[in-house]
């Protein structure tokens, strides 16, 4: 309780002046030296799965192949070069394709979709060069025996930033306060076991039966841990979206495997503003994303990327999310003068509160604690920023009294780690009380 | 008292090991029910059915007009801008199109039942799908959920929730997500409050142990009718929601509008909520027989619309009771009351409120003969930020799990006859081993 109180005090002390933007972790630059190799992915049920992944200098602290591959943060119109050497077991050849970009390749050997590397010698190094001319979210993956190699883990993300980095595209309506990645993948361990033993002739992709599902390479709840933790050396990336009321989250969603994973965001509608790195616009970029689509579930299609803007204020809930004296919560103000937009001004007690619901008590009485079951992210109170009494051992994952919402695959079978619920393709987004510091994302160690 | 026998159904499915299914005769049933009720009643000295509805005076979960002396007056809800509903969360049985019974978890409608009788009425009364909920924009919606326990699985202490899927700007306390909120234990009631501001097609389901409770059937239709339907708009006449299920009515205007479109472009004459779902019989049997649940092997082989596979989808009469060895597993309860037969007169505009709550499959629905005009997805009208209509006409629509679509079929110029609506992923036109069934229904123009 002391830690909780201290955290709450920190919020009060630091006030709303603290603002740091959460960025997606990755490596930036114009030249990347990729190596494809093998490793072991950890799953939350204690299993480990042999996988193939890319790594590049500085992409993860252990310097090992990673799942998914390094997220490349590129600049619009700045040419990049990516070299690839294959350190895959059994002398397997590999390559990379970059959908959405015009790529030239040299070195290595001719392949079906792209030039390939079949070893670690200099002669086996392929060099891919392209200029990302359009901002947005892209993916890259193996172009060699891709039905197997993507399953094995050879897939990654490319983010192309426009001149204004806090915009997704070259229009102010694509502004975001924080951005988070949802690279959606799955694994069928039987295939990985055969690949580990080199029994490629026994692999039958038509009988693929995935039992693990991942966001950014981790199954829940591992995706809620910090990024770059030492106990997940091959899985550097996490997925912990956070915001405060009124902020805008850019959600970059990628269908990274061969299946569809309808990604449902609890909390509010979101707006798809782009697909495959192209704004949904009648006249891009001038018009902005005027053809954006409101959704509660993104139909994540294999190979497709979706950029979505999510906002939350609690508007029109019909009760005051900060509580009222009738709810035994302290009185607070809701000043809506400049701008008079219905939301509390910055000098209000709770900026961005929807003043239309101000001072309306909770309309129903909640059952007694003995009639309820509690989630770990339940603060004990329906009110934002409040911590209620809970029985011993309950709650504890919500020190600021935020509103947590699950962002998950609505193919609910995928909320499991090989027969164990809960887990899999699931993350918890939190709307923290105004002024709560949001992690700025972890710099590459 | 307890009969142990090898179920022939299991052998038919290729389970050669012979799984023993415990079956209870009716006498045992009654004894068990009594013990169960006693057990629930002592769960907590404070636990109680506590239905909250601001215009409910006699504790049965609906509205009364104390001034006029009229009790249980649904019309009163409209005048007060309040809607109250009382659901039970529990278990029961459903029957598949091939005659096989399936053990289910589900919701039942307990509105209007005095609180003292709620547990008795709710036990073994689960419906598949859950009762359809139609509410109106602008109303305050009080939804009470009583956990009546699961008679067939007294070893389970599962709480339940209602997740109003897609509700805009939701809070955690009323989101029904157990991980970040609260869920209701057996013998008690939790009342959810929703201020209905966003019209469109949503859905609802229990979110407790989501993969299990959703596979087991705690899924239902939920939609919010747009205020333009009764208020009209400049140049757009008000509709008449009483006409929503009257094909070829003489009323000049529409039944309603899907959205507050301001131009009448989402007008419809008939309204059919169609929810796609599916059961994995191995999972349901494992739950019934208290076996480990096959999450990893989950494979839905009973594809359904509104809880039935074709041809049951077009059966407007009562479904047969789920039977097992001559025993009616549901007692008197008819658990599958929603058919999906669409009947229209030429010229009717048919609104299909489509949703997919199958937890393993993204479905494509196809209407090969009558074009579909998609006017909304996920409870948002298709409009540009410049307010230009982005409605589009198609013959197929793909909806993943947790997605909804508002589709209007304009029957103008369509000759009388029977037309079909079905899953374009054709392997889902089956009822387990029967290879013609599943996700299909008929549109009869007459």
For every residue of B241-308, DSSP letters joined together read GGGTT-TT-S-SS-SEESS--SSSTTEESEEEEEEEEEE-HHHHHHHHTT----STT----EEEETTB
Residues counted in chain B: 446
φ, ψ for residue A28, nearest 5 deg: -120, 165
Q: Which residue of A has its CA nearest to B402?
A: A410
Residue B319: band (very low, low, confident or very high) from pLDDT cuts 50, 70, 90: very high
Question: Cis ω on the peptide bond leading into residue A422 (within 30° of 0)?
Answer: yes
Asked if B403 lies within 8 A of A262 by C-beta distance, the reply is: yes
Asked if A295 lies within 8 A of B197 by C-beta distance, the reply is: no
Percentage of chain A beyond pLDDT 70 is 94
Asked if B179 lies within 8 A of A406 by C-beta distance, the reply is: yes
Instruction: Count the Cβ atoms, other than its own, within 10 Å of residue A204.
Output: 10
pLDDT at A7 over 70: no
Q: Say if residues B430 and B329 touch (Cβ distance below 8 Å).
A: no
pLDDT at B340 over 80: yes
Asked if A297 lies within 8 A of B378 by C-beta distance, the reply is: yes
Q: Say if residues A93 and A86 touch (Cβ distance below 8 Å).
A: yes
Q: Which residue of A has its CA nearest to B377?
A: A295
* H or E stretch at A199: none
What pLDDT shows up at residue A403? 98
Instruction: Give which of A410, A415, A421 to mutate to test B binding, by max B Cβ within 10 Å.
Output: A410
What pLDDT shows up at residue B10? 33
d(CA B375, CA B358) in angstroms, rounded, equals 22
Question: Residues 104..133 of A with a Cβ closer than 8 Å to B: which?
Answer: none
Using the Cβ of A388 and the Cβ atoms of chain B, whether some distance falls under 8 Å is answered with no
Q: Which residue of A has its CA nearest to B189?
A: A367
Least Cα separation, residue B108 to chain A (angstroms): 20
Closest to B289 in 3D by CA, of B16, B90, B102, B159: B102
Instruction: Give which of A242, A292, A317 to mutate to test B binding, by max B Cβ within 10 Å.
Output: A317
Mean pLDDT for all residues in chain A: 94
d(CA B145, CA A307) in angstroms, rounded, equals 37
Q: Say if residues A259 and A214 touch (Cβ distance below 8 Å).
A: no
Instruction: Count the Cβ atoms, other than its own, within 10 Å of residue A224.
Output: 15
pLDDT at A322 over 90: yes
Which positions ≥6 away from A401 have C-beta within 8 Å?
A8, A379, A381, A383, A384, A385, A386, A387, A433
Question: For the whole model, what pTM was predicted?
Answer: 0.92
pLDDT at A3 over 70: no
Q: Please work out, in degrees rounded to the nearest 5, the angle formed at the alpha carbon of residue B300 by the alpha carbons of B297 and B303.
A: 180
What would you measure as the largest C-alpha separation in chain A, in angstroms? 76
Q: What is the dihedral of CA B248, B249, B252, B256, to 10 degrees?
A: -90
What pLDDT shows up at residue B64? 78
Q: Which residues pair with A408 in a beta bridge?
A: A264, A426
d(CA A69, CA A298) in angstroms, rounded, equals 23
Q: How many CA atoms lie within 13 A of A207 on its CB side?
A: 6
Say what the ipTM of the complex is. Answer: 0.94
Asked if A364 lies within 8 A of B52 by C-beta distance, the reply is: yes
Which positions ≥6 away from A163 have C-beta within 8 Å?
A76, A170
φ, ψ for residue A269, nearest 5 deg: -65, 150
Chain A positions touching B84 (Cβ under 8 A) are none
Residue B128: band (very low, low, confident or very high) from pLDDT cuts 50, 70, 90: very high
Question: Residues 266..285 of A with a Cβ closer than 8 Å to B: which?
Answer: 266-269, 282
A323-378 confidence digits (pLDDT tens): 999 999 999 999 999 999 999 999 999 999 999 999 999 999 999 999 999 999 99
Mean pLDDT for all residues in chain B: 89
Closest to B282 in 3D by CA, of B295, B271, B273: B295
Asked if A406 lies within 8 A of B165 by C-beta distance, the reply is: no
Compute and round to an integer the Cα radius of gyration of chain A.
23
Using the Cβ of A288 and the Cβ atoms of chain B, whether some distance falls under 8 Å is answered with yes
A258-306 confidence digits (pLDDT tens): 999 999 999 999 999 999 999 999 999 999 999 999 999 998 899 999 9
pLDDT at A12 over 60: no
Chain A positions touching B294 (Cβ under 8 A) are 419
Asked if B400 lies within 8 A of A410 by C-beta distance, the reply is: yes
Chain B positions touching A406 (Cβ under 8 A) are 177, 179-180
Asked if B296 lies within 8 A of A419 by C-beta distance, the reply is: yes
Closest to A217 in 3D by CA, of A268, A170, A254: A254
Chain A positions touching B210 (Cβ under 8 A) are 412, 415, 421-422
Which structure tokens are listed for B131? 């009762």
Q: What are the angstrom distances between the C-alpha of B73 and each of A405, B137, B145, B399?
A: 37, 20, 21, 38
Instruction: Count the Cβ atoms, other than its own, within 10 Å of residue A58.
Output: 14
Residue A19: band (very low, low, confident or very high) from pLDDT cuts 50, 70, 90: low
Distance of CA A165 to the CA centre of its chain: 18
Least Cα separation, residue B400 to chain A (angstroms): 6
If you write DSSP's letter for every residue of A351-413 in order, what string do you get? TT-BGGGTTPPPSSPPPPGGGEEE-TT--SSSSTT------TTS--S-TT--EEEEEEESSGG
Least CB-CB distance to A318: which of B140, B188, B294? B140
Asked if B44 lies within 8 A of A319 by C-beta distance, the reply is: no
Closest to B375 in 3D by CA, of B407, B345, B346: B407
Chain A positions touching B398 (Cβ under 8 A) are 299
φ, ψ for residue B8, nearest 5 deg: -65, -30
Asked if B177 lies within 8 A of A406 by C-beta distance, the reply is: yes
Q: Which residue of A has its CA nearest to B397?
A: A299
Closest to B240 in 3D by CA, of B268, B206, B273, B207: B268
Instruction: Give which of A366, A413, A429 to mutate to test B binding, by max B Cβ within 10 Å.
Output: A413
Instruction: Give which of B180, B208, B391 to mutate to test A binding, by max A Cβ within 10 Å.
Output: B180
Least Cα separation, residue B196 to chain A (angstroms): 8
Least CB-CB distance to A290: which of B47, B178, B384? B384
CB pairs under 8 A between A and B: 211
Instruction: Give which of B146, B157, B161, B179 to mutate to test A binding, by max A Cβ within 10 Å.
Output: B179
Question: Residues 338..367 of A with a Cβ closer than 8 Å to B: which?
Answer: 362-367
Pairing of strands A178-187, A248-255: parallel
Asked if B193 lies within 8 A of A318 by C-beta distance, the reply is: yes
Closest to B421 in 3D by CA, of B413, B431, B429: B429
d(CA A295, CA B381) in angstroms, rounded, equals 10
Least CB-CB distance to B171: which of A288, A321, A377? A321
Chain A positions touching B390 (Cβ under 8 A) are 291
d(CA A288, CA A292) in angstroms, rounded, equals 9
Least Cα separation, residue A86 to chain B (angstroms): 33
What pLDDT shows up at residue B47? 60
d(CA B29, CA A189) in angstroms, rounded, equals 44
pLDDT, average across residues B122-129: 97
d(CA B357, CA B221) in angstroms, rounded, equals 9
Please indicate whether residue B307 or residue B317 has the higher confidence score (pLDDT): B307
Closest to A101 in 3D by CA, of A54, A163, A159: A159
Instruction: Count the Cβ atoms, other than its own, within 10 Å of residue A62.
Output: 16
What pLDDT shows up at residue A21? 87
Asked if B169 lies within 8 A of A313 by C-beta distance, the reply is: yes
What's the burial of A389, exposed, middle or buried (CB within 10 Å: 0-12/13-18/19+)?
exposed
Taken in order of first residue, the domains within chain A and their CATH numbers are 2-311 (2.60.40.420)
B282-301 confidence digits (pLDDT tens): 999 999 999 999 999 999 99
3 state SS of A420: strand
Asked if A291 lies within 8 A of B390 by C-beta distance, the reply is: yes
Using the Cβ of A396 and the Cβ atoms of chain B, whether some distance falls under 8 Å is answered with no
Distance of CA A74 to the CA centre of its chain: 18
DSSP letter assigned to residue B352 = E
B418-437 confidence digits (pLDDT tens): 999 999 999 999 999 999 99
Asked if B215 lies within 8 A of A211 by C-beta distance, the reply is: no
Q: Is the dihedral of CA B208, B214, B217, B220 positive or negative?
A: positive
B245-278 confidence digits (pLDDT tens): 778 765 678 999 999 999 999 999 999 999 999 9
Chain B positions touching A398 (Cβ under 8 A) are 180
Least CB-CB distance to B189: which of A316, A367, A378? A367
d(CA B314, CA B311) in angstroms, rounded, equals 6
pLDDT, average across residues B188-212: 98
A140-190 confidence digits (pLDDT tens): 999 999 999 999 999 999 999 999 999 999 999 999 999 999 999 999 999
Chain B positions touching A413 (Cβ under 8 A) are 211, 215, 295, 298, 359-360
Instruction: Count the Cβ atoms, other than its own, within 10 Å of residue A183.
Output: 27
What pLDDT shows up at residue B250? 58
Which structure tokens are listed for B10? 């299991």
B19-78 confidence digits (pLDDT tens): 333 344 444 555 555 555 555 554 544 568 999 998 888 888 888 776 776 667 666 777
Q: Say if residues B239 and B267 touch (Cβ distance below 8 Å).
A: yes
Q: Say if residues B88 and B110 touch (Cβ distance below 8 Å).
A: yes
């Amino acid at each position: 309780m002391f830690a909780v109180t201290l955290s709450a005090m920190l919020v009060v002390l630091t006030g709303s002046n603290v603002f740091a933007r959460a960025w997606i972790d990755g490596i930036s630059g114009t030249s990347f030296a990729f190596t494809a190799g093998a490793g072991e992915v950890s799953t939350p049920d204690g299993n480990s799965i042999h996988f193939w992944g890319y790594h590049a200098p500085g992409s993860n602290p252990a310097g090992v192949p990673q799942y998914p591959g390094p997220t490349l943060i590129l600049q619009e119109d700045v040419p990049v070069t990516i070299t690839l050497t294959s350190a895959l077991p059994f002398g397997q050849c590999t390559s990379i394709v970059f959908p959405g970009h015009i790529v030239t390749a040299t070195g290595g050997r001719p392949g079906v979709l792209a030039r390939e590397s079949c070893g670690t010698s200099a002669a086996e190094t392929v060099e891919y060069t392209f200029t990302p001319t359009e901002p947005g979210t892209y993916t890259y993956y193996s172009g060699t025996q891709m039905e197997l190699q993507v399953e094995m883990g050879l897939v990654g993300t490319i983010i192309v930033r426009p001149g204004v980095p806090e915009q997704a595209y070259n229009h102010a309506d694509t502004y975001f306060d924080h951005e988070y990645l949802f690279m959606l993948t799955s694994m069928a361990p039987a295939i990985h076991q055969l690949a580990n033993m080199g029994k490629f002739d026994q692999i039958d992709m038509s009988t693929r039966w995935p039992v693990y599902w991942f966001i950014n390479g981790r199954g829940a709840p591992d995706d809620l841990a910090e990024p770059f933790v030492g106990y997940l050396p091959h899985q550097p990336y996490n997925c912990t979206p956070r915001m405060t009321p009124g902020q805008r989250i850019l959600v970059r969603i990628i269908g990274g495997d061969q299946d569809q994973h309808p990604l449902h965001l609890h909390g509010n509608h979101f707006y798809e503003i782009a697909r495959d790195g192209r704004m949904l616009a009648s006249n891009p970029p001038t018009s902005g994303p005027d053809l954006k689509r409101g959704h509660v579930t993104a139909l994540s299609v294999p190979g497709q990327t979706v950029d979505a803007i999510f906002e939350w204020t609690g508007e029109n809930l019909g009760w005051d999310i900060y509580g009222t004296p009738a709810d035994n919560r302290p009185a607070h103000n809701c000043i809506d003068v400049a701008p008079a937009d219905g939301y509390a001004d910055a000098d209000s007690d709770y900026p961005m509160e929807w003043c239309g619901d101000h001072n309306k008590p909770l309309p129903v009485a909640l059952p007694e604690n003995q009639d309820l079951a509690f989630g770990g992210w339940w603060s004990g109170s329906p009110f934002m920023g409040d911590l209620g009494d809970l029985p011993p051992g309950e709650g504890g994952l919500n020190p600021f009294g935020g509103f947590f919402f699950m962002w998950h695959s609505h193919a609910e079978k995928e909320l499991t780690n090989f027969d164990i619920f809960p887990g899999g393709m699931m993350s918890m987004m939190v709307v923290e009380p105004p002024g709560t510091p949001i992690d700025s994302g972890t710099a590459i160690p | 008292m307890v009969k142990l026998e090898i179920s022939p159904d299991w052998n038919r499915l290729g389970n050669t090991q012979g799984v023993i299914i415990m079956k209870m005769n009716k006498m045992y049933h009654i004894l068990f029910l009594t013990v169960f009720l006693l057990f629930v009643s002592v769960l907590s000295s404070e636990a109680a059915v506590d239905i909250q509805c601001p215009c409910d005076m006699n504790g049965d979960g609906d509205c009364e007009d104390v001034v006029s002396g009229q009790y249980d007056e649904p019309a009163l809800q409209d005048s007060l801008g309040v809607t109250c509903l009382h659901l039970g969360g529990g278990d029961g049985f459903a029957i598949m199109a091939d005659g096989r019974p399936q053990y289910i978890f589900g919701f039942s409608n307990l509105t209007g039942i005095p609180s003292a009788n709620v547990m008795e009425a709710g036990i073994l009364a689960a419906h598949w799908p859950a009762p359809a909920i139609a509410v109106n924009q602008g109303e305050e919606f009080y939804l009470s959920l009583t956990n009546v326990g699961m008679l067939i699985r007294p070893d389970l202490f599962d709480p339940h929730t209602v997740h109003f899927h897609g509700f805009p700007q939701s809070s955690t306390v009323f989101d029904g997500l157990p991980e970040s909120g609260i869920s209701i234990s057996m013998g008690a009631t939790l009342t959810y409050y929703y201020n209905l501001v966003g019209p469109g097609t949503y859905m609802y389901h229990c979110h407790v142990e989501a993969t299990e409770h959703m596979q087991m059937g705690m899924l239902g239709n939920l939609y919010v009718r747009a205020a333009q339907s009764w208020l009209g708009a400049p140049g757009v006449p008000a509709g008449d929601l009483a006409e929503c299920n009257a094909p070829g009515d003489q009323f000049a205007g529409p039944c309603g509008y899907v959205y507050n479109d301001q131009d009448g472009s989402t007008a419809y004459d008939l309204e059919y909520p169609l929810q796609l779902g599916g059961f994995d019989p191995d999972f349901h049997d494992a739950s019934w027989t208290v076996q480990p649940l096959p999450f990893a092997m989950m494979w839905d082989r009973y594809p359904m619309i509104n809880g039935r596979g074709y041809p049951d989808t077009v059966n407007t009469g009562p479904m047969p009771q789920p039977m097992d060895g001559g025993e009616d597993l549901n007692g008197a309860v008819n658990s599958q009351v929603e058919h999906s037969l669409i009947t229209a007169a030429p010229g009717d505009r048919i609104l299909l409120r489509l949703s997919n709550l199958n937890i393993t499959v993204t479905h494509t629905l196809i209407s090969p003969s009558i074009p579909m005009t998609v006017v909304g997805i996920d409870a948002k009208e298709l409009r540009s930020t410049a307010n230009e209509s982005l409605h589009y006409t198609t013959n197929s629509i793909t909806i993943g799990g947790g997605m909804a679509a508002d589709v209007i079929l304009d029957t103008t110029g369509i000759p009388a006859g029977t037309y079909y609506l079905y899953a374009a992923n054709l392997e889902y036109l089956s009822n387990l081993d029967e290879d013609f069934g599943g996700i299909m229904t008929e549109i009869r123009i007459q």
